[in-house]
Amino acid sequence: MDHLWSPWRYQYVSSEPPAANGCVFCRKAEAGKEEENLVLFRGTHCYALLNLYPYTNGHLMIAPYEHVDSLAAASPAAAAEMMDLARVAETALRQVYRPGGINLGMNLGACAGAGVAGHIHLHVLPRWPGDANFLSVVGETRVLIEELPVTWQRLREAFASLIS
């Protein structure tokens, strides 16, 4: 069995979020400032946004507007829309980036790796052969091929064309 280590993530997942700022997903759920908040699409119960600290270009997340800490606590409508948006995200990522594969995942609870344990969110990220290479694993450096505003524009357009 192979193991990939990412020690640079420890500080992020082990630190307490600043209480004064509240929940990052609840703040970004408020309409307006779409580009500033990297929001790609707003649905009825959920929205899609870019990850501010992406593992790869195109790493996005889907979160419900409701502040819940488990998938079981989410309303059936939010859970269903989350999966619908995951399907759109998969199609958009394949169109824009042509990845070799896609990871979908949720970290429920702090000990499961959730950086924001109080508000569920689904990670959707494109993957390519060799994207966990020497530079990221040993050199603790990620190489991203474009800036977040460019990624935001490309994926926002893809979402709009798929949901119209």
Q: Taking Cα atoms as reference points, which of 145, 162, 128, 131 lies closest to residue 40?
A: 162
Position 47, amino acid:
Y
Name the residue with tokens 């649905």. 43
Answer whether 44's CB lies under 8 Å from 77's CB. yes
Sequence-ordered list of residues with C-beta below 8 angstroms from that of 127, at least 6 positions apart, any chain: 56, 99, 100, 101, 102, 103
The question of whether 3 is a catalytic residue gets the answer no
User: Looking at 45, 59, 119, 121, which residue is catalytic?
Assistant: 121
Q: Both ends of the chain: CA-CA distance in Å?
A: 44
Residues designated catalytic? 121
